[in-house]
Amino acid sequence: MKKTLLTIIAILFNFAIAFSQTTSITAVSSSLVSVKDDVDGPKKNNVKISLTSLAFKNFQLQYERSLTKRIGVVIGYSFINKGAVPFKSQLNELVSNNSEGQGMLNNTELGYSAITPEIRFYLGQGYGKGFYIAPFYRHLKYDISGINFEYNSDLSTQKEDIDMGGKLTANTFGLQFGAQFNLGKHIILDWWIVGPHYGTSKGDFVGKTDRLLTPYEQSELQRELDDIDLPLGDIKAKANANGATINISGPWGGVRSGLSLGYRF
């Protein structure tokens, strides 16, 4: 069985514009220039939400702050509220090599969260506008329950099943290429062109039965667990009298891409 399981930002800000007036014509002129510079100067903050990830019920939020004309820092938070796995029927076909296992995700629930800080280097206009290159780090966590395995039973001619669940975490590093544009005075569009990232993952899953399994049932369940196939990484699956455990470790990677709409201030 192949398993390929497919992330709060609210940063408050305060700023003030102060200017002084004097009776001197020179001082008034200087003050007006200063006010104009504050009003028309570069806006160094923006908040964004990803539009393309919403199809997967994935909410991705970002806050960006320009440190200099060419450098900005970004903190992103993405999450999927725990619920039914998106595109379940298609995934059922991918996770099993045989028809018997194609219902293993029917009751599966998935939750997801990720934190992604990045540093952006703008090569174009700057202050959060133009083409950029951004090295980033991503910490993600999956919360998964209800993965179903069936096995032959000593007590019935029908197969029994066991539901397994647990958590998987991963840490990756990557490089994002993108471009950010103004759509108006305050509205921006952030295009994540491509952002490959790679790192390591670790997951622990447990399933418990309502009764002690016989040696025959343990061997049948082990046979099902042995069918798990991961393209990369190491998987250790072990049946026991109380159920089964699965431990996963190995490489993890992906590609960030999409469109985000934001507000600049």
pLDDT tens sequence across 7-38: 322 222 232 222 223 223 233 333 333 334 34
Judged by DSSP in three states, 89 sits in: helix
In this structure, what token pair is assigned to residue 154? Answer: 């000593």
DSSP state of 44: -
In a 10 Å sphere around its CB, with 0-12 CB exposed, 13-18 middle and 19+ buried, how is residue 39 labelled? exposed
- Return the pLDDT at 142: 96
> Taking residues 140-169, what's their average pLDDT?
92
In this structure, what token pair is assigned to residue 42? Answer: 């570069």
Could you tell me the domains of the chain?
25-264 (2.40.128)
Distance (Å, whole) CA 262 – CA 196: 23
Judged by DSSP in three states, 157 sits in: coil
- Return the pLDDT at 56: 81
pLDDT tens sequence across 181-202: 999 999 999 999 999 999 999 9
Q: Among 131-135, 167-171, 230-234, 254-258, which is the least confidently predicted range? A: 230-234
- Model confidence at 75, in pLDDT bands (50, 70, 90)? very high
CB 217 within 8 A of CB 152: yes
Whether 39 has a pLDDT exceeding 50, the answer reads yes
Distance (Å, whole) CA 75 – CA 12: 13
